[in-house]
Structure formats: structure tokens, C-alpha cells
Amino acid sequence: MQEYWELYMKNLEGHPASIQFNAGISMDIEKNRDIFPTVGFVKVMLKEPNDKGLLSEQEAPEISYLEDKLEAAMLKFRIGKYVGRVITQGSATFIFYLQFTYNWQDFLEYALDEFQHYEIESGYQDDSEWNYYQNLLFPTAVEWQIIQNHKVCDALKQQGDALHQKRAIEHRIFFSDFDQKDAFLQRVEPEGFAYMEDIVHEEGFEGVKIYRQDKPHYYEIDEVTLYLIDTAAKFGAQYDGWETSLVRI
């Protein structure tokens, strides 16, 4: 399995949730289903969650240490792979996919020996389709775009960008039916988006590049891209990201 981790926020049952998961596993998911058909979990009730039910700064070091012990124990007993973590409603749930379960209890006792002061639940069940990974941990198309948005924002910020200053932000849209292009442009132009040029994806899909004056700040660019994702879908099109120029403070 490749190790490539992502962290993002989502809404679970009406509550904010912090999701961290190994995205690299998705590249070999068919193979992994056969080797690791059982999902296991360790749910730890937080002692000092913040007001949103998420991990507080005070408790973060100990939960991080507990996570490290779980991952090290999983490697020691060679029963499976650690694939992700969900923190929501005052708890942290660590998720594993297991090849064997005969020494699950030995794994727990070894990993959690130092954490008897926590209330902890654990268990495992069949999940040969990897539903927990695909439907709980793995982001939707919208959530994935937000992850990419924030990576671009982080990169701009690291270069000294003033993210609150408006500038032209270019967006790429690709169509399954290019005849929908004009109808799409007519829909977004009243919202301030202007046509730049036609473009072609490396896989052959035709599309357009549009732009608008906006701030590339985290939540503001999220709002812009979510609008374009939703609007593009109405015309059988797919949003393919954005780019902009650097504006230093």
C-alpha cells in the first residue's frame, strides 16, 4: 500500500467531523479488498473536546501518541493496515482493515496498555467491499475539491500572498457534450464570470476556461468552486480546478 495521507472536514449526521485518511490505498483498492476483508475500529471518548466536539489543543498530544501506539501495534502483530481516523461528537475513531482477527485482542492490549484512563470501545466486522473506506473516509467530489482548494491557498500563503486581495481567478470546465458550452456560459455570465478560451483535456474532452475577480481565501474560494461544480453538473460538465496569480503583502 502507498502512504499518501489527507486531512479534511465534513459534516456527519449534522455535526462537524475531522477526517484523516490514507488516500494512497485507493490506487490499489481492488487488490486490498481481497487481502484485507475485515474492518476494525477503536473508538476513544475524548476527555477535553473543544466546543465543536473536535480535538482540542490540550488533548491533541496524547491522542496523537495513542494513534502512534495503535499504528505501531498494527505493524507489530501484522494483522492489517491503519487507514484513517474520524473525530466527531467528542470521540476519535481509528479505522483499520484486517487480514487476520485471531490476535485482535493481543493487538488491543499491547497498544492501549497506557490508556486505561480513557473510555474505549473496539470491534470488527466483515467489510469486503470496503464501504467504510469509500463512503466514510474517502471524500466526495465536492470534498475533494475543497481539499485541493486549501492546498492551493496554503501554497500561495507560503509565498507571502495576501489572500484577501481580489484578483482574476481562472477556472477550467470540461464537457461530455461540448454543445452545452454556450448554455453554460449564458448561465454563469450574469454571476460575473467571463469567457477566456476553449481548452482540450489531455484525455480529449473539450472545455472552456472562464475567470472572475475573487479572493483566493479558503472559504471564499470554496463558495466559488462549489457554485461552479453544481452549475457545471447541470450541463453535463465537470469542474477541473482553478489557478491565479500571486499577490504579495
What is the tens place of the pLDDT at every residue in 102-114? Answer: 999 999 999 999 9
* Domain coverage including residue 156: 141-244
Answer yes or no: do 19 and 129 share one domain: yes
Is a pLDDT exceeding 90 seen at residue 149? yes
CATH of the domain at 103: 3.30.70
Grid coordinates belonging to 35: 487481502
Q: Please tell me what DSSP assigns to residue 132.
A: I
Is a pLDDT exceeding 80 seen at residue 2? no
Stretch 123-145: mean pLDDT: 95
Is a pLDDT exceeding 60 seen at residue 13? yes
Is a pLDDT exceeding 60 seen at residue 72? yes
Answer yes or no: do 122 and 14 share one domain: yes
Final residue before a domain boundary, out of 137, 152, 180: 137
The answer to whether residue 56 sits within a structural domain is yes
Question: Do the beta carbons of residue 136 and residue 87 sit within 8 Å?
Answer: no
Strands of the sheet containing 120-126, edge to edge, are 5-12, 15-22, 80-88, 91-98, 38-45, 120-126
Stretch 37-47: mean pLDDT: 98
Cα–Cα distances (Å) from 149 to 15, 199, 248, in that order, read 22, 21, 19
Final residue before a domain boundary, out of 137, 158, 178: 137
Q: Which of 141-145, 172-176, 201-205 has the highest mean pLDDT?
A: 172-176
Answer yes or no: do 131 and 158 share one domain: no
Listed in sequence order, the residues at least 6 apart from 17 whose beta carbon sits closer than 8 Å to its beta carbon are: 9, 10, 11, 54, 86, 87, 88
Answer yes or no: do 169 and 197 share one domain: yes
Cα–Cα distances (Å) from 127 to 29, 110, 225, in that order, read 13, 25, 34
Each residue's pLDDT tens digit, 116-131? 999 999 999 999 999 9
Each residue's pLDDT tens digit, 75-86? 999 999 999 999
Is a pLDDT exceeding 60 seen at residue 228? yes
Stretch 132-154: mean pLDDT: 93
The answer to whether residue 15 sits within a structural domain is yes
Per the structure, the count of domains in the chain is 2
Question: Do the beta carbons of residue 49 and residue 90 sit within 8 Å?
Answer: yes
Q: What is the pLDDT of residue 163?
A: 93
The answer to whether residue 184 sits within a structural domain is yes
Name the nearest CA neighbour of 189 among 208, 170, 212, 172.
212
Q: What is the pLDDT of residue 219?
A: 87
Q: What is the pLDDT of residue 130?
A: 96
Stretch 206-228: mean pLDDT: 95
Three-class secondary structure assignment of 162-223: CCCCCEEEEEEEEECCHHHHHHHHHHHHHHCCEEEEEEECCCCCEEEEEEEEECCCHHHHHH
Answer yes or no: do 223 and 168 share one domain: yes
Grid coordinates belonging to 43: 473508538
Q: What is the pLDDT of residue 249?
A: 74
Answer yes or no: do 164 and 235 share one domain: yes
Is a pLDDT exceeding 60 seen at residue 99? yes
CATH of the domain at 207: 3.30.70.970
Distance CA 92, CA 86 (A): 6
Average pLDDT, the chain: 94
pTM: 0.83
Grid coordinates belonging to 44: 476513544
Strands of the sheet containing 167-175, edge to edge, are 194-200, 206-214, 167-175, 237-244
The answer to whether residue 67 sits within a structural domain is yes
Grid coordinates belonging to 119: 473510555
Instruction: Report strand pairing: 194-200 vs 237-244.
Output: unpaired
Answer yes or no: do 150 and 194 share one domain: yes
Answer yes or no: do 151 and 217 share one domain: yes
3-class secondary structure, 248: strand
Final residue before a domain boundary, out of 82, 115, 137: 137
Distance CA 168, CA 213 (A): 4
The answer to whether residue 249 sits within a structural domain is no
* pLDDT > 70: percent of the chain: 99
Answer yes or no: do 132 and 149 share one domain: no
Each residue's pLDDT tens digit, 171-196? 999 999 999 999 999 999 999 999 99
The answer to whether residue 64 sits within a structural domain is yes
Q: Please tell me what DSSP assigns to residue 149.
A: H
Stretch 6-35: mean pLDDT: 91
The amino acid present at 249, given as its one-letter code, is: I
